[in-house]
Amino acid sequence: MRILRLASWLFLLAPPLFASPEALDTARSTVKEWAAAEKAISREAAEWSGRKVLLQDLIEVAQQRIDRLQSELEKGQDSLSASDEARAKLLDREEAVAEESEQLEGFLAELEARLQSLRPQLPEPLEEELAPVYQRIPSDPAKTTLALGERMRTAVSLLAKIRQFDGKLTLAESLKTLPGSEATASVRTLYIGLGQAYYLAPEDAGYGSPGPGGWVWQSAPELRKAIQEVIALAEGGAMEPKFVDLPVALAGTEGGAK
């Protein structure tokens, strides 16, 4: 349509131009060149229109990818923030645990020292029973490689056994050197918890109590009959329960009554 309009426009505006064959050839050539140019423009316009749609699709896809990456980046930043917060909490907890472990280690060192100092004052049967457990107490708490949990189990085991012994009567028989002599005899000893004991030997009798360096025994042959009655009651051989008078050594705290 544009070609026809251009041809009409040329004929209307320049009629003398077509008076000769040369002029007519020139006009035809001009029209062909213009038509070719218009066709090329139309083809380029059509190709650009297709490319424009393709570019718009590519831009849209790229924008979607950018949005997705931005979303993932924001999530990653949130996750990183959460990780930093969790790490900070773990570091705080680690410091608290280290402080608690240090306090527990100090408490255990003190408790182990007190248990070691108590060992000589334990009754002989109990001390023999606990000897393997005492071997698990470290000689130097500062240099030991034992875990705190294992050390705590050892201390608790010792305390439980000692407490159990202190709450009952224990009758034991062993060879002992009698107090005040070098003679050794088979002795039956009745322990009243951790603080008092009475022994009965073939030729002697007496009582004892724990001292700072171990048990202190006192010969008292005049108590033989009473100690026999007490041992019979402890064994369940007496016909009926009864009160028996025996000496008891009571040691109070510093500054208190003894």
Burial class (CB in 10 A: 0-12, 13-18, 19+), 244: middle
Q: Both 181 and 149 in a single domain?
A: no
In the prediction, which pLDDT does 5 show? 52
Q: Both 145 and 126 in a single domain?
A: yes
Q: Which helix (H) or strand (E) holds 112?
A: helix 21-118
Q: Both 137 and 180 in a single domain?
A: no
Contacts of 180 (CB under 8 A, 6+ apart): 219
Provide the domain count of the chain. 2
In the prediction, which pLDDT does 255 show? 38
Contacts of 202 (CB under 8 A, 6+ apart): 185, 186
Q: Is 213 domain-assigned?
A: yes
In the prediction, which pLDDT does 251 show? 65
Among 163, 184, 216, the domain-final residue is 163
In the prediction, which pLDDT does 237 show? 60
Q: Both 178 and 219 in a single domain?
A: yes
Burial class (CB in 10 A: 0-12, 13-18, 19+), 167: exposed
Burial class (CB in 10 A: 0-12, 13-18, 19+), 61: exposed
Q: Both 114 and 132 in a single domain?
A: yes
Q: Both 152 and 174 in a single domain?
A: no
Structure-token pair, residue 34 = 């213009």
Q: Both 155 and 203 in a single domain?
A: no
Q: Is 38 domain-assigned?
A: no
Q: Both 178 and 225 in a single domain?
A: yes
Among residues 192, 193, 223, the alpha carbon closest in space to that of 205 is found at 223
Q: Is 4 domain-assigned?
A: no
- Asked whether the beta carbons of 27 and 17 are under 8 A apart, the reply is yes
Supply the pTM of this predicted model.
0.60
The domain containing residue 149 runs over which residues? 101-163
Q: How many residues does the chain have?
A: 258
Q: Is 61 domain-assigned?
A: no
User: Which segments within the chain are labelled E, that is strand?
Assistant: 169-177, 184-192, 196-201, 204-211, 214-219
Q: Both 131 and 181 in a single domain?
A: no
CA count, 13 A, side-chain hemisphere, 5: 2
Q: Is 201 domain-assigned?
A: yes
Q: Both 185 and 229 in a single domain?
A: yes
- Asked whether the beta carbons of 185 and 176 are under 8 A apart, the reply is yes
In the prediction, which pLDDT does 113 show? 93
pLDDT 10s digit of each residue in the chain, 258 long?
Answer: 555 555 554 554 455 544 577 777 787 788 777 777 777 777 777 777 777 777 787 888 888 888 888 888 777 777 777 777 787 778 777 777 677 778 888 889 999 999 999 999 999 999 999 999 999 999 888 888 888 889 999 999 999 999 999 999 999 999 999 998 888 899 999 999 999 999 999 999 999 999 888 999 999 999 999 999 999 888 876 556 678 888 887 765 443 333
Q: Is 158 domain-assigned?
A: yes
Q: Is 229 domain-assigned?
A: yes
